[in-house]
Amino acid sequence: MAIDYGRKRSGVAVTDTLQLIAGALGTVPSGNLVDYILDYIKREPVETIVVGEPRQLDGTPSESMRYITPFLNRLKKVLPPEIGIVMHDERFTSTIAHQAMIDGG
């Protein structure tokens, strides 16, 4: 599962069981996100949750981390211990995705 956390709404995506293709589940009000995740993992297997880590170009955390950190702390407290949480640097991801779409035709 992947989370693009926002102050008001957060994007949620999951991969297929072979972990080859990711697809969007949709957007969720950020205040409901932990409950949404807990409900989802009751119905579907989830090994890892990847959360976008917003950083400045110089590598320092962006202002958005002040909203993401409390979410992560709450999520870590309620998730089963076998589900990992990984942060992923999201600098340039839109540029990379755009190029992949062009390369794929």
pLDDT (tens digit per residue) in 55-66: 666 766 667 778
pLDDT class for 79, splitting at 50, 70, 90?
Answer: very high
Look up residue 30 and give its DSSP letter: G
Report strand pairing: 9-15 vs 2-4: antiparallel
What the block records as the tokens of 104 is 């794929």
C-alpha span between 20 and 35 (Å, rounded): 26
pTM: predicted TM-score of the whole model, two decimal places: 0.79
Residue 98 has a pLDDT of 47
